[in-house]
Chain A
Amino acid sequence: MMLLIVLDLALLCISLINTGILIVGLQGLLLGFFVIAIHANALSVRLMAIAIAGIAIKGFLFPVLLRRAIREAGILREIKPFVGPGLSLVSGILMLAVALWIKSKLPLGGIIDAPITVPASFMTIFTGLFLVIARKKALTQCMGYIVFENGIYAFGIAAAGDIPLLVELGLLLDAFVAVFVMGIAIYRINQEFDHIDATELSSLKG
């Protein structure tokens, strides 16, 4: 779980999209193994199914989809953020502080055993949100959404590990379709605009 926080911080200060995709994929893998680790003493078929589906979708499918989007859009490698890496990192540390504060406010004792889980998942959620807001490209915004989704997933397996399989699969499927739809959207935006810079998407105001 500490590793999740480190990956979040790394995501905030990298400047190459490919590295970003790698980290997003790594996070997905980590979360899949986390499902197995946290329920190691009571591993059921259901949990295994969720872990494997999670690893497959978040760890492999998402990076593949993102890479394909890069290839088809033929975009530049740099991220070109609104907020530079240094400032992003500072915001990251602030977000960690907020995550710890939220953890102290929520009476989750007795529900979640691992004390670091809640701040780590909230940290990931905030990082995702930050990436959606502070990055220019449609593709990096999409990455931000995946990180955001990862954070919620992390919180989900920790706080409500026993929600029905159908719901979990629904969530995974939705996340998958969302990324897929975003991929098509990026492709179409790219065709129409010759770029995927979301700052240029600004003719609709008021």
Chain B
Amino acid sequence: MDNTHTLLLLSLLLAPLVAGVLIIFVRSIRAIFITMAAGIMAGSIFGMIAVIKTCKYGTISAISSWLYVDALSSFTLAIMLIVYILSTTFAYVYFKKEFLVGNLSLKQARQFAALWCGSFFSMTLVLVSNNLGIMWVGIEATTLLTAFLICIHSSKQSLEAMWKYLIICSVGVAFAFLGTLLAAASSRNVSGLEINQALLWTKLMVHAEMLNPALIKAAFIFLVAGYGTKAGLAPMHNWLPDAHSQAPAPVSALFSGFMLNAALYCIMRYIPVVEAATGRSGWSLTLMSALGIFSIGIGAAFIIFQNDVKRLLAYCSVEHIGIISLGLGLGGIGFFAAMFHTLNHSICKSVSFFAAGRLGQISGTHDLRKLNGAPKMSRLWGTALFLCILALIGIAPFAIFMSEFQILKAAVDSHSFVRLVLFLAGISVVFIGMLSKAIPLMWGTASESTKVKNDSESTEKRDISLPATPDIKLDKSTFLEICLVIVPLSALLILGCWMPDFLGSSMTKAADIIGKVTTMPHK
């Protein structure tokens, strides 16, 4: 049994890595994309098997429990696979168009594909490793591997975004390592815990109550600062809007749809340990909800003034990561809501970035004022962007409404009315701010754009990566593109109305690992 698990988890890790290495030696763009798709596909299949096995057996572990998958990691892994399958498919669509307008060289394609597979490997490493040190190595590797994904199209702006991302995230994540070391130090002098096992999460959980509370608190502060930087929690979010807006659309989708969650997942791992060590005082939860509220506020404040659609979506990510950590901070049903919201946000934000990217290709700009009346440029992607924005601000039948509603319920349950009011105020501002941009986007006329032309000449330079002249021929949506919009959005719609039992129970199990969910919310 253990052998098959070892084989499964190792092939899950190695499949994309091998594909990534192979890509370096492949000599045509077509072959590069085929190899990449094969690598991601193989990784996804092994990943799916691992998720199903975890549902069946509870947990699976391998190599003397260095590799370990439980309900929490398998749920996050499932989200990751969804985001990767969607964005890889979209990457094919997106770069095919880039190639047709002569905007993609062999070298760029190779760079993208190799790093794309590499990032799949490193994010999987984060999710399947039981050793908190290796988990950190995985997160740091994601930073390094994804840095050059931002500047596939080399321009001043994208290089600037890449440098900011590299420096801020490297330093931030190094703080998380300091936190990891302090967590290891807090387990000294605990009987029954061998020193070389001190970083194994399962061992740490068993002995959590005996850890040194002062040290584990200090560790958690560093960990939240470190992984929070990578997750885009305010005030450590500065790199995020730049990186998201400059990266090619599939990369932005991956960043927003999953990379932020991977970092947040690391914090989730530590929450139960810290809570047990500090006598379930709710100390770490308070910290999480404070950061969450602050992120919602920052996101809301910047959303009002954004004119670049990708930056708008990036600040929206800051807000949603804030909502997720607020959910974690509220506890109880909030843990469940945080899981649910993670899933909803990942799906919805990926599609939003797809739409923003394609509209950018079609119209040659990311300026919202010039994208007025977007459905006239591309009926599919214009409408998709509009629907995504509606879903993101929590319009009722979409699933994000349900998860935000559950977070409200968690706030009421725990009698934290200050947080409730702040949360409501934040999402109301976002609601108004995004809706006021979405309505002209859907029904506005393109003539309004001439008015702002002078004003936006400075922003023009940002879109160097886009084709100089809008190409009308690009405007034909293929069947694949239609699927990329319809499938995720209808999934969100269905999840908003009806939750399948298996999903509800696996989310409850995942939330139970962070902290006990008191009621069964999906019933």
Residue numbers of A with Cβ under 8 A of B are: 105-108, 110-111, 125, 128-129, 132, 138, 141, 145, 148-149, 152, 155-156, 159-160, 162-164, 166-167, 170-171, 173-174, 177-178, 181-182, 184-185, 188-189, 192-193, 198, 201-204, 206
Inter-chain contacts of B246 with A (CB < 8 A) = 204
Q: Is the interface of A mostly helix, strand, loop or mixed?
A: helix
Known interface pairs A106-B214, A106-B215, A152-B181; A206-B167 also in contact (CB < 8 Å): no
B154 near A192 (CB under 8 angstroms)?
Answer: yes
**Chain A min CB distance to B121 (Å):** 14
B170 near A145 (CB under 8 angstroms)?
Answer: yes
Inter-chain contacts of B167 with A (CB < 8 A) = 132, 141, 145, 182
Q: Which of B134, B144, B178, B182 contacts A166 (CB 8 A)?
A: B134
- When chains A and B are docked, how far (Å) is the Cα of A167 from the Cα of B136? 9
- When chains A and B are docked, how far (Å) is the Cα of A155 from the Cα of B181? 8
Query: Which positions 182-224 of chain B face chain A at CB distance < 8 Å?
Result: 182, 184-185, 188-189, 195-196, 198-199, 212, 214-215, 218
Known interface pairs A174-B140, A192-B154; A164-B163 also in contact (CB < 8 Å): no
Q: Which of B136, B199, B305 contacts A164 (CB 8 A)?
A: B199
- When chains A and B are docked, how far (Å) is the Cα of A174 from the Cα of B166? 13
Cβ of B151 under 8 Å from chain A: yes
Of B170, B196, B218, most A-chain CB atoms within 10 Å:
B170
A167 near B133 (CB under 8 angstroms)?
Answer: yes
Inter-chain contacts of A173 with B (CB < 8 A) = 137
B171 near A132 (CB under 8 angstroms)?
Answer: yes
A188 near B154 (CB under 8 angstroms)?
Answer: yes
Contact residue range for chain B? 35 or more
Q: Which of B134, B160, B185, B198 contacts A203 (CB 8 A)?
A: B160
Inter-chain contacts of A152 with B (CB < 8 A) = 174, 177-178, 181
A106 near B160 (CB under 8 angstroms)?
Answer: no
- When chains A and B are docked, how far (Å) is the Cα of A41 from the Cα of B453? 73
- When chains A and B are docked, how far (Å) is the Cα of A16 from the Cα of B46? 53
A107 near B212 (CB under 8 angstroms)?
Answer: yes
Known interface pairs A171-B137, A188-B159, A204-B160; A145-B181 also in contact (CB < 8 Å): no
- When chains A and B are docked, how far (Å) is the Cα of A160 from the Cα of B226? 19
B159 near A181 (CB under 8 angstroms)?
Answer: no
Q: Which of A132, A162, A182, A203 contacts B195 (CB 8 A)?
A: A162
Q: Which of B171, B188, B241, B306 contacts A145 (CB 8 A)?
A: B171
B163 near A110 (CB under 8 angstroms)?
Answer: no
Q: Which of B155, B185, B306, B462 contacts A108 (CB 8 A)?
A: B185
Q: Which of A108, A164, A193, A201 contacts B164 (CB 8 A)?
A: A201
Inter-chain contacts of B155 with A (CB < 8 A) = 192
Inter-chain contacts of B174 with A (CB < 8 A) = 145, 148-149, 152
Q: Which of B134, B156, B215 contacts A192 (CB 8 A)?
A: B156
Cβ of B141 under 8 Å from chain A: yes
Q: Which of A108, A128, A171, A193 contacts B215 (CB 8 A)?
A: A108
A163 near B160 (CB under 8 angstroms)?
Answer: no
Known interface pairs A149-B174, A163-B198, A167-B134; A181-B215 also in contact (CB < 8 Å): no
Cβ of B430 under 8 Å from chain A: no
Q: Which of A141, A148, A170 contacts B137 (CB 8 A)?
A: A170
**Chain A min CB distance to B156 (Å):** 6
**Chain B min CB distance to A154 (Å):** 11
**Chain B min CB distance to A150 (Å):** 11
B156 near A193 (CB under 8 angstroms)?
Answer: yes
**Chain B min CB distance to A101 (Å):** 13
A138 near B163 (CB under 8 angstroms)?
Answer: yes
**Chain B min CB distance to A190 (Å):** 10
A206 near B305 (CB under 8 angstroms)?
Answer: yes
Inter-chain contacts of B300 with A (CB < 8 A) = none
Q: 4 shortest A-B CB distances, which residue pairs?
A: A167-B133, A170-B137, A201-B160, A162-B195
B306 near A206 (CB under 8 angstroms)?
Answer: yes
Known interface pairs A164-B199, A170-B133, A185-B147; A159-B181 also in contact (CB < 8 Å): yes
Inter-chain contacts of B461 with A (CB < 8 A) = 203
- When chains A and B are docked, how far (Å) is the Cα of A108 from the Cα of B176? 19
Known interface pairs A141-B167, A159-B185, A162-B195; A167-B131 also in contact (CB < 8 Å): yes
B140 near A178 (CB under 8 angstroms)?
Answer: yes
B157 near A204 (CB under 8 angstroms)?
Answer: yes
Inter-chain contacts of A156 with B (CB < 8 A) = 177, 181
- When chains A and B are docked, how far (Å) is the Cα of A148 from the Cα of B161? 22
**Chain A min CB distance to B232 (Å):** 15
Closest to B307 in A: A206
A204 near B161 (CB under 8 angstroms)?
Answer: yes
A203 near B215 (CB under 8 angstroms)?
Answer: no
- When chains A and B are docked, how far (Å) is the Cα of A178 from the Cα of B146? 12
Cβ of B463 under 8 Å from chain A: no
Cβ of B245 under 8 Å from chain A: yes
Inter-chain contacts of A141 with B (CB < 8 A) = 167
Inter-chain contacts of A105 with B (CB < 8 A) = 214, 218
B242 near A204 (CB under 8 angstroms)?
Answer: yes
Known interface pairs A160-B185, A170-B134, A174-B144; A107-B215 also in contact (CB < 8 Å): yes
B305 near A162 (CB under 8 angstroms)?
Answer: no
- When chains A and B are docked, how far (Å) is the Cα of A125 from the Cα of B82? 39
**Chain A min CB distance to B523 (Å):** 42
- When chains A and B are docked, how far (Å) is the Cα of A187 from the Cα of B242? 20
Cβ of B302 under 8 Å from chain A: yes
Cβ of B162 under 8 Å from chain A: yes
A111 near B137 (CB under 8 angstroms)?
Answer: no
Known interface pairs A152-B178, A164-B131, A164-B196; A189-B163 also in contact (CB < 8 Å): yes
B306 near A111 (CB under 8 angstroms)?
Answer: no
Q: Which of A110, A198, A206 contacts B189 (CB 8 A)?
A: A110
Inter-chain contacts of A159 with B (CB < 8 A) = 181-182, 184-185
- When chains A and B are docked, how far (Å) is the Cα of A132 from the Cα of B163? 12
